[in-house]
Amino acid sequence: MHVEPQIPAHRGSEWPRPVAARQGDPAGAHRAALTRRPVEARSHANSLGRFAMCRVATCLILATLGIAPTAAQSAAHRVLAEKLDLTQSPMGNVQLQIWSDKLDAIIANRRQLLSTVPNLNLKLTTTAFTTSFKDGDRTIVVSAVHYQCATSHDTPFKLECPARVVELRGGKILLLAEVADFPISAKRGEAGFDASTNSNTQYMTVLTFDPADQQIAAKVTYDGETSSETPIKLR
């Protein structure tokens, strides 16, 4: 009786199997090589696909976070009022260090004011209007001091004060620019230039630092209307 050979059923994970090369069997080795090459090609293609997907995913993450690793971007910060204690050592405050050569004159001016109105019980303090920007391994600080500021009856909440732009790097301060009439829009609160001053969006000065052009542009909002000022060029 003739019996037909039975072909075993295969599972997806077992069929087809690579043909093993047997020692001394050139035909078997050739069949094994032909079977192995498509598998290796598919594996290489899959690796390239995964690498491309990772590159795309990385780009998407950078785009989402707004990161540009090869080019610095402009940044805009609001100038904020900061109270300075003139009795404090300059070593403990960057603002006092920036104005260290003017402190004697600022203190004398403040003492004169205190003696004129002793009943107000004023303290030996002043105000700095300041903000900062990060530029690589350095920090750019803008500081305008409330000393010898000019104003007018038409715009009582707009001041023009002396200002300095400095670079902080490695514990050292380098002067980059000095402005005699820096524009400050700030409305006093019950305690002078206070938290309410810094939260008032109808009166404010916003600075934009452009690292490519190395300049700082100012936009002044007064009574809700915004105007642009001449940019400050850094050295």
Using DSSP, state whether 197 is helix, strand or coil: helix
Q: Check residue 184 and give its pLDDT.
A: 98
Tell me how far apart the terminal alpha carbons of the chain are, to the nearest angstrom.
104
122: which residues sit within 8 A by CB, 6+ positions away?
Answer: 113, 114
Task: Please give the structure tokens belonging to residue 119.
Answer: 């009943």
β-sheet bridge partners, residue 217: 208
Q: Check residue 46 and give its pLDDT.
A: 52
Q: Check residue 200 and give its pLDDT.
A: 98
Sheet architecture: strand order including 138-145: 80-85, 125-135, 138-145, 158-169, 172-185
Provide DSSP, 31-98: HHHHHHHHHHHHHHHHHHHHHHHHHHHHHHHHHHHT--TTS---EEEE-EEEEEETTS-GGG-HHHHH
Q: CA angle 32-34-39, nearest 5°?
A: 95
Q: Sign of dihedral through CA atoms 176, 179, 182, 188?
A: positive
Calculate mean pLDDT across residues 204-219: 97
More confident residue, 14 or 103: 103
Give the separation between CA 229 and CA 209, rounded to whole angstroms.
Answer: 13
For residue 198, pLDDT over 90 is answered with yes
Task: Please give the structure tokens belonging to residue 111.
Answer: 């003492």
What pLDDT, in 10s, does the model give residues 151-193? 999 999 999 999 999 999 999 999 999 999 999 999 999 989 9
Q: Check residue 122 and give its pLDDT.
A: 79
For residue 43, pLDDT over 70 is answered with no
3 phi/psi in degrees, rounded to 5 = -110, 125
DSSP-assigned letter for residue 167? E
Q: Check residue 26 and give its pLDDT.
A: 47
Place of tokens 């006092």: 96
Q: Check residue 72 and give its pLDDT.
A: 61
Give the separation between CA 117 and CA 111, rounded to whole angstroms.
Answer: 10
Using DSSP, state whether 123 is helix, strand or coil: coil
pTM of the model: 0.69
What pLDDT, in 10s, does the model give residues 70-124? 446 889 999 999 999 999 999 989 999 999 999 999 999 999 988 888 877 778 9
β-sheet bridge partners, residue 235: none
β-sheet bridge partners, residue 11: none
For residue 194, pLDDT over 50 is answered with yes
